[in-house]
Amino acid sequence: MHRASRSKRSIFQLSISLGKGLIVMWSRLWSFRISYLFIAPFLICFALFIVIPIVAAVGLSFTYYNGIEPPRFIGWSNFQYLIAQDLLFLKYALPNTFKFAIIVGPGGYAAAFLLAWLISKLRGSFRKWVALAMYTPSLTVGIAMTIIWLPLLSGDRIGYLNSFLLKIGFIDIPKLWVTSPDLLMNSMIVVTLWSSMGVGFLAMLAGILNVDTTLYEAGKIDGIKNNLQELWFITIPSMKPQMLFGAVMAIVTTFKTGAIGVELSGQNPTPEYAGHLIVNHINDYGFIRFEMGYAATISVFLLILMYFANKLSWGLFGTKEE
Amino acid sequence: MLVLSVVMILPIIYIFNHAFKPYHELFIYPPKFFVQEPNIQNFVELFWVTSNSIVPVSRYLFNSLFISAASVIGVTAVSALCAYPLSKHPFPGRKFIFAVILLMLMFTPEVIQIPRYLVVSQLGIMNTYLGHLLPVLALPVGVFLLKQFVDQIPDSLLEASRIDGANEFIVFFRIIIPMCMPAIATVAILSFQNSWGNVETSMLFMQDDEMKNFPFFLSTLTNNLANNVARQGAAAVAALIMLVPNLVFFIILQGKVISTMAHSGIK
């Protein structure tokens, strides 16, 4: 009797304190209502078009879904098919993506950094125009790219590159830059590298320009002899945040340039799947074969790949002390 | 260095030259890089000949201009609104929200086209301008850059204006916005680039041709361009039209972009 009333009392007290806690929390949330109001528009769009699609992709990846019938749960079999049986994926999409990503990602990143560094050595308004020249290619978005590169890389002798190489005697028959399976990948890499000096490049340039000049003077006193030592011991450590931002942006652009092969070769799928990337594979299954569940599985795979690529760059450039 | 920058910019110079080449020059052998008898025949072709088709090119151009303008205004407004509290208000959940935005910075929306398509069709905004606009409105890079920039504004300044009786909206419009102009300009450029060249929304979310945008129209011109003689000139002009606004915007705002990027570290 006594015990029961005690436990009742403690439950009562507990619920009171819980209620109080809720009220405190609510009033805390309420006191920041303006903050929430401010961020609401972004968060709603963000949730609708980025977070929910990612969650939905994960959900759909476990189903069979053709866009007409409701999704049917089939467990891990999409993933099993992807890593064990999908020959197109294993033989073309995956190796192509790796090759493409490894050259364009770190390669473009290193090129961006070197260019930014060289540009920072230039003086005055000249620097501005060189930086502009480097950044401009990344402005030629998507489709416009084909207009520029197709005539340049055209497979007959009218193509500018072929005609030039023929004239200087470097080759004797015109090369099929974009339609031959051997050369398509290289053309894709060159074109993507050309247009990859984007936001990350600008960030790195800004980072280099903003390094405290007194550091260089101090470095000189401490015995730094040449430009390379200066670069290694002072510039890179003081612009780590921009380096990281540049790396993240490089990874994002690398994985999103999937359409370039299709645009260059004018064929989908590309000749003998030479330029078949994971993004093409997703589009192939999602919008041509309407196997949306399976396409979602491939998307999830790509997301995981991007996540680990980013983890790697955080490991390399992240500031650990903070 | 100079040589490299010339190589980088060659295709751009080419695009300018190409747009003004008359037909007999487009296909001469050996091909000439620079235009010899510049004329505007291609422009005429693009606007006059295609105006006989079902959807005139001006409609695509209008769609593109309208969508881009709306998205620049929308993205900058939405991003700035979000960045300010994220940087200056200690509200519960802010760390979590910023962490999620940082995480999403690492992903590109292109890889999740299918579920996005489903969301858009569920919302019933297929075939409307909203369908063009809403999916590009949330730009994680925009919020990220602005937040890093707002971090530089001293708290004491905001405190002082609050003591003077300014509410959050006044603080936002009178202090945050003017002080963030470089970052806002940068985000405006990024969002313009993003939506100006965006074929994805037209391709996936728009069924009616008159709702599609200019880059989509360009892609119809360039189908099998390599072995197609007709409309080469028109396509060259269209590519020029795609490039020039981007270029002009960037040249005007270059200094601001650089100063924003100086604060763009992920810490």
pLDDT band at residue A172 under the 50/70/90 scheme: confident
Q: What average pLDDT does range B235-247 have in this prediction?
A: 82
Nearest partner of A314 among B143, B99, B86, judged by Cα: B99
* pLDDT of res. B71: 92
Instruction: Write out chain A residues lying below 8 Å of B239, CB-based.
Output: 140, 143-144, 147-148
pLDDT band at residue B70 under the 50/70/90 scheme: very high
Q: With CB atoms and an 8 Å threshold, state whether B197 touches A53.
A: no
* pLDDT of res. B51: 65
Of A129-133, B19-23, B148-152, which gets the smallest average pLDDT?
Answer: B19-23
| pLDDT beyond 50 at A322 | no
Chain B CB within 8 Å of residue A237 CB: no
* pLDDT of res. A255: 80
Kindly identify which residue of chain A lies nearest to residue B233, measuring between CA atoms. Answer: A147
Helix, coil or strand: residue B134: helix
Give the mutation candidate from A143, A161, A264 for the B interface (greatest B CB count, under 10 A): A143
Kindly tell me the burial class for residue A198, based on how many C-beta atoms sit within 10 Å of its own C-beta (0-12, 13-18, 19 or more): buried
pLDDT band at residue A3 under the 50/70/90 scheme: low
Our measurement of the distance from residue A99's CA atom to the centroid of its chain's CA atoms, rounded to an integer in Å, reads 15
Instruction: Write out chain B residues lying below 8 Å of A152, CB-based.
Output: 11, 14
Q: With CB atoms and an 8 Å threshold, state whether A57 touches B112.
A: yes
Work out the mean pLDDT of chain A and round it to a whole number.
Answer: 81
Work out the mean pLDDT of chain B and round it to a whole number.
Answer: 82
Chain B CB within 8 Å of residue A42 CB: yes
Nearest partner of A105 among A312, A259, A282, A318, judged by Cα: A312
Q: Please check whether residue B246 is in contact with residue B198, taking contact to mean a CB–CB distance below 8 angstroms.
A: no
Q: What letters, b where the CB count within 10 A reaches 16 and e where it falls short, cover B186-196? A: bbbbbbbbbbb
pLDDT band at residue B29 under the 50/70/90 scheme: low
How many A/B residue pairs have CB atoms within 8 Å?
290
- Distance, in Å, from the CA atom of A112 to the CA atom of A200, rounded to the nearest integer, reads 8
Helix, coil or strand: residue A72: strand
Tell me the whole-structure pTM to 2 decimals. Answer: 0.84
Instruction: Write out chain A residues lying below 8 Å of B138, CB-based.
Output: 42, 45-46, 48-50
Instruction: Write out chain B residues lying below 8 Å of A141, CB-based.
Output: 193, 196-197, 215, 242, 246
pLDDT band at residue A67 under the 50/70/90 scheme: confident
Q: With CB atoms and an 8 Å threshold, state whether A141 touches B134.
A: no
Q: Please check whether residue B218 is in contact with residue B238, taking contact to mean a CB–CB distance below 8 angstroms.
A: yes
Q: The domain A87-317: what is its CATH number? A: 1.10.3720.10
B223 compared with A317, residue with greater pLDDT = A317
Q: pLDDT tens, B187-217?
A: 998 898 888 878 778 878 888 878 888 888 8
Q: pLDDT tens, A81-130?
A: 888 888 888 888 888 888 888 888 888 888 888 888 888 888 777 888 88
* pLDDT of res. A321: 41
- Distance, in Å, from the CA atom of A181 to the CA atom of A198, rounded to the nearest integer, reads 28
Q: Which among B97, B224, B247 is the nearest to A136, CB-wise?
A: B247
Q: What average pLDDT does range A32-54 have in this prediction?
A: 89
Chain B CB within 8 Å of residue A195 CB: no
* pLDDT of res. B74: 93
pLDDT band at residue A238 under the 50/70/90 scheme: confident
Q: What average pLDDT does range B238-252 have in this prediction?
A: 84
- Backbone dihedral angles phi then psi of residue A72, each to the nearest 5 degrees: -115, 125
Chain B CB within 8 Å of residue A32 CB: yes
* pLDDT of res. B81: 92
Shortest CA gap A3–chain B (Å): 40
pLDDT band at residue A6 under the 50/70/90 scheme: low
Instruction: Write out chain A residues lying below 8 Å of B9, CB-based.
Output: 133, 136-137
Q: What average pLDDT does range A38-58 have in this prediction?
A: 90
Q: Please check whether residue B212 is in contact with residue B199, taking contact to mean a CB–CB distance below 8 angstroms.
A: no
Single-letter residue type at B61 = L
Where do the domains of chain A lie? Answer: 3-64, 87-317
Give the mutation candidate from A29, A39, A78, A184 for the B interface (greatest B CB count, under 10 A): A39
pLDDT band at residue B226 under the 50/70/90 scheme: very low
Kindly identify which residue of chain A lies nearest to residue B186, measuring between CA atoms. Answer: A199
* pLDDT of res. B27: 64
| pLDDT beyond 70 at B31 | no
* pLDDT of res. B227: 47
